Structure 1
Amino acid sequence: MRTAEESRVQSGGRKRRSFFVRSTQTTDRGGTPGTPGCLRSKERAVNLAQAAPTAVASGLDPRRWKALILLCTANFMVILDAQIVIMGLPSISADLKLTPVMGQWALSANLLTFGGLLLLGGRAADLLGRRKVFIIGTALFLLVSVLSGLAWNGEVLLVARSLHGVSAALMAPTALSILTNTFPEGRERNKAFAMWSGIASIGATVGLLLGGTLIDWLGWQSIFFVNVPVALVMLVLAPVLLRESKDSGTRRTFDLAGAVVSTAALGLLVYVLVEAPTRGWVSLHTIGLGAVFLVLVALTVVIEKRSAAPLVPLRLFRSPSLVGGNLVTGIAAALAFGMSVVISQFSLGVLHYSALEFGLSQSAMPIAAVIGAFLAQAVLNRIGIRVVAVIGVVLLGAGCFVLTGISPTGSYWADVFPGLILFGLGLGGGPVALAAAALNGIAKRDTGLASGLNTAAFQVGGAIGVAVVSTIVAAHMARAATDPAAIMDGFTGGLVACVVFAVVGLVLAVALLRKRGGGALQIVPEQRTPSAH
């Protein structure tokens, strides 16, 4: 039985609490309407007192926006490094006396190791610590940038470019995973993904502009040395701005067999796609290695089913959102890389633009991409992942369709500029929704792997786009000696292939991505079990 005094005290406590609750609900700077002026300062004090514990309890890192700049810089440098080498290849080949095959592999070696090791890099981050793996990748990026700049022959350069891919496979998925774990679901994470997508879109164009300028002024070595000061700053800031996180809920066992076989499968797929346009899609080389790839995929599935701690848990693929997000990401990458093949060859080979002129002509696209990314994050929670993704894919396809009107006698502003704007809006907005879809509902312990899957989908999709469009363009160019119009037919055919990619992506987005409520990227809480401790 409660005494009268206890009842009075508890009742008074309830009344006082209800007063404070009412006070904290005001948003008027002057206080709640009707509140006496002498109580307004008290009301504001109550607001601050209650807001502070809420912020602490939420676990938000006060340095998260500075950390985002660091993570986006890492992704920017990975993309910049891949693009800037394209501009430097003629000078590098002449100075180091590279054969055409070695020159091609100076570009492809990075792609091969990057694409092949992405899953391993993402899972290593989950198990060993995301910040730790990010720092290791950044340190390796710094060292191989120095080695690339000092390369004294083609063999050294190929080794360095291969190691560049390894560093990128550690940095890119880990940075995306850290971003996912740093920002809470909803508007903040959507904004973070918009910045990630927008800055990534800028990286390629900056690579073209910066590459030509550095080579003309300082020589080809400078395109590698420019990475060094940026990497040093990232190494200094990473321990300060990034929180460490890793999978602490399960046994930290390593699936060596799954790692070897899945890495071999991804690497082989990238190799086949790189070589197919040269060797032929129906050649014994392509068909044979394609069959080996399928065997490795089947073997990976068998190993992962039997493994107690699989590198790639097959349960992840039960999510239509994850599967759809990654498939459409691959399609978007095929569009982006395929379109770049056509526009670069058209601008440099037909319009005879210099490297600097080409970079400037492409600058409209990343500007539009930044706008598209921030528009996408603003409406993602309201209209949902699927709608934003569909709009993004439609804009990509529309941009390619408009670009089919290019001609040697046409105008940049009339024929090229509108297509680049449409394409850029889709290139910026689509990935914001697709990244959310690919990581939606993923347990925290799997975010590194899921980020690796998403990045791998982009890389493989890009390789497919380059392979398909390059094959179409090359087939028409073979007839150019007798039929000058064949060159433009090849460019048109390549862009039509990109439109077909967009149609496929549209179907996949509609079929696999959920309608509404998916704007916020959600992280599933860890499910602890007695054996996990």
Structure 2
Amino acid sequence: MKPQRPRSGQTPSPPRRAVVLTALAAAQFTVMLATSIVNVALPQIRAGAGLSEGGTTWVVNAYGLAFGALLLAGGRAADMLGRRRVLILGLLVFAGASLAAGSASSAGALIAARALQGLGAAAIAPAALALAMELSPSGAERGRALAVWGAVSGAGGAGGVLLGGVLTQAWGWSSIFFCVAIGSALVAVAVVLVVPAGTADREAGKFDLLGTAAITLALTGLVWGLTTARSAGWTNGPVLYALAASAVLLAVFVRIELRTPNALIPPRLFATGRVGVGNLLMALLGSIWIALFFFLPLYQQQVLGASPLITGAGQLPLAAANMLGSALAPRIRRRLGTTATVTGAMLTEAAGLLWLSRISAGGSYLADILGPSILVGLGLSIAFVHLTSLAVEGVPPRDAGLAGGLVNTTRQVGGAVGLAALATLAGSVTAHAATHESHLQALTAGYRAAFAVSAAVMAATALLVPLLIRPLTEPLLNHHIHIQKEVLP
């Protein structure tokens, strides 16, 4: 007998709810998989698509920038047009863009396809999460759903690293995009079959088109200027024009948001809880996050000579430490408090990054990567869990989804800007070192500089934490600990 999909407004039975949650979690897994699956294949993508070093950065940044800049817009569209509808559309766009990326015969086509992937991800992530929360209205059920969501996100990141290595070594870099295309299409079919239709929010208001355009163009100009400065120089006319235009557009965006009734980022959001502090710290954490996974595979393959498969397997300890830190984070906070936990986590990550800044051209995985990877994974995951929590504390229920979307946006955008800046730094150091050192030594010098600056940024961020995070009031602390016990026991 053909399975009956629950109609709009119906609450699925518990077994059916598990099936629906599985389909929604698969959508989140697909987004996280596509985020990490390209990292191991970057040297092969560079050679196959004829990319420059700056162009290789855009393979990562085009996706992250479009994803981050349009994430809030995707959530707004889901509220206005219907979450299931936007989720299916996002999955289809994601599948088509992945197919185009795998078939790309030029650098421009590949980068454009990656940006289109980011657009699809910006529709998938908020719509899937909102449907999952809608599916689990009570505290205990919602806690279990969020626990599944966190586990799936970690598994997607770890699975992407390993799967990217396997596919690249066996069938070449194009196969990673074809794999994502097939997976996205299958998830779209599952959503059509099992996820209830739901309804659109007729009171959501108008879409903030001007605000969306202003912030997207501003961020694109900023990242393009930082990336291009490496080859063209900081005094290059187009670079200066792009950075100046970015500053003007950011000011325009702020003015639009202050004057628009249906703002993409309503000013009221920053008057409650500690949204501003949480997002500022998350942006700084994100600026290091994406760059770490960009430089580590390059060092393993280009300097140590590891194959894509060995490179992917070599990052599994970092992923395992990340998942372990996520599980331990609530317990550590209950013992030490928010400020001490976040500060300690960031200092742990800074120590791992500082250790990575001592890599050498004649190094090895065991001596140069394994130990610091574990430190970085633990610190990164613990800080991420609590900064995400911090960014939504005290926010009214009607703005909870928006606050969650905003903290993911700042992480993605911070990552895009941080990667552009650190890649420019690494390229400049490598170019200077190449005048008097071997190619491998010059590459290593660039990577060392990127890791050293990353360590300094993380240490400085850790010092900011006690200054920015004010003590919780007792009622809010008790409420927050109760929620944490439900989500991550």
TM-score for the superposition, normalised by structure 1: 0.75
Q: Which residue of 2 aligns with 1:238?
A: 191
Q: 1:274 to 1:372 in 2, by over 3 A?
A: same
Question: What is the rounded CA distance, in whole Å, between the counterparts of 2:236 and 2:59 in structure 1?
Answer: 24
Match of 1:78 among 31, 52, 75: 31
Q: What is residue 505 of structure 1 aligned with on the other side?
A: 461
Q: Which residue of 1 aligns with 2:5?
A: none
Q: Who is 2:344 aligned against?
A: 391
1:323 aligned partner: 276
Question: Is 1:269 matched with 2:219?
Answer: no
For residue 362 of structure 1, report the CA deviation from its aligned partner.
Answer: 1.3
Contact 1:321 1:438 (C-alpha < 8 Å) held by counterparts? yes
Alignment of 1:333-348 (within 5 A): 333-348=286-301
Change (3 A) 1:123 1:509: farther
- In structure 1, what is the Cα distance between the partners aligned to 2:395 and 2:355? 38
The answer to whether the 8 A contact 2:58-2:111 is kept is yes
Q: How far does residue 270 in structure 1 lie from its aligned partner after superposition? A: 3.4
- For the pair shown, which has the larger CA radius of gyration, 1 or 2? 1
Q: Does 1:403 align with 2:356?
A: yes
Q: Which residue in the other structure is 1:43 paired with? A: none
3-state SS in 1 of match to 2:274: helix
The answer to whether residue 437 in structure 2 is matched with residue 483 in structure 1 is: yes
Secondary structure in 2 matching 1:252:
coil
Amino acid across the alignment from 1:279 = A
After superposing the two structures, state which structure 1 stretch, 232-241 or 115-124, moved more.
232-241
Structure 2 equivalent of residue 258 of structure 1? 211
Distance change >3 Å, CA 96–CA 298, structure 1 → 2? closer
Please report how far the alpha carbon of residue 375 of structure 1 lies from its aligned counterpart in structure 2 after TM superposition. Answer: 0.9
Measured at CA, do residues 60 and 419 of structure 1 come closer, stay the same or move farther in structure 2, by a change above 3 Å? farther
**AA in 2 matched with 1:404:** S
Aligned with 2:92 (options 134, 139, 160): 139
Q: Secondary structure at the match of 1:259?
A: helix
Q: Distance in 2 between matches of 1:369 and 1:93?
A: 28
Amino acid at match of 1:268: G
Counterpart in the other structure of 1:32: none
1-structure distance, mates of 2:469, 2:389 = 10
Deviation of 1:423 (Å):
0.8
Distance 2:221 2:424 in 1: 19
Distance 2:92 2:355 in 1: 43
Q: Distance in 2 between matches of 1:68 and 1:423?
A: 31
Q: What is the CA-CA distance between 1:106 and the residue it aligns to?
A: 4.7
Distance 1:280 1:461, change over 3 A: farther
Taking the TM superposition and a 5 Å limit, the aligned residue runs for 1:90-489 are: 105-151=58-104, 156-179=109-132, 193=146, 195-238=148-191, 240-241=194-195, 244=198, 247=201, 250-319=203-272, 321-380=274-333, 384-478=337-431, 479-484=433-438, 487-489=443-445
SS in 1 for 2:263: coil
Q: Which shows bigger deviation, 304-313 or 361-370?
A: 304-313
| 1:430-455 superposed Cα distances (whole Å, 9 cap, x missing partner) | 22212212222334443443333222
Q: Structure 1's 69 and 507: CA in aligned 2 closer, same or farther, altered over 3 A?
A: farther
Offset, 1:482: 0.8
Could you tell me the TM-score, scaled by structure 2's length? 0.81
Q: CA RMSD in A?
A: 3.4
Q: Say which is worse superposed, 334-343 or 146-155, in terms of deviation.
A: 146-155
Q: How far 1:127 sits from its partner (Å)?
A: 2.8
Q: Which residue of 2 aligns with 1:45?
A: none
1:244: Cα distance to partner? Answer: 3.8
Deviation, structure 1 residue 364: 0.4
Q: Which one is further off, 317-326 or 235-244?
A: 235-244
- Post-superposition CA distance 1:43-93 (Å, at most 9, x none): xxxxxxxxxxxxxxxx99846665554444333322322443455556566
Gap change, CA 1:431 and 1:180, over 3 Å in 2: farther
8 Å Cα contact 1:214/1:220 also seen in 2: yes
Where 2:215 maps in the other structure, the secondary structure is helix
Shift of 1:477: 1.5
Residues 75 and 200 of structure 1 are in contact (CA less than 8 Å); yes or no, is this contact kept in structure 2? yes
Alpha-carbon distance change, 289 to 163 in structure 1, aligned in 2, over 3 angstroms: same
Comparing 329-338 and 383-392, the one that deviates more: 383-392
CA distance in 1: counterparts of 2:104 and 2:422, whole angstroms: 32
The percentage of counterpart residues that share the same residue type is 34
Contact preservation (8 Å) 2:102, 2:174: yes
Tell me by how many angstroms 1:429 deviates. Answer: 2.1
The total of aligned residue pairs comes to 463
d(CA) in 2 for partners of 1:188 and 1:513? 30
User: Measured at CA, do residues 61 and 335 of structure 1 come closer, stay the same or move farther in structure 2, by a change above 3 Å?
Assistant: farther
8 Å contact from structure 2 (residues 98, 177) kept in 1: yes
Gaps of 5+ in 2: 1-10, 485-489
1:493 aligns with 2:446: no
- Secondary structure in 1 matching 2:391: helix
198-207 vs 451-460, which deviates more?
Answer: 198-207
Contact 2:71 2:122 in 1 (8 A): yes
In structure 1, what residue type is equivalent to 2:237? L
CA 482–259 in structure 1, closer or farther in 2 if over 3 Å, else same:
closer
CA contact (8 A) 1:198 1:366 kept: no
User: Is the 1:83–1:207 Cα contact (8 Å) retained in structure 2?
Assistant: yes
1:335 partner SS: helix
Deviates more, 1:464-473 or 1:66-75: 66-75
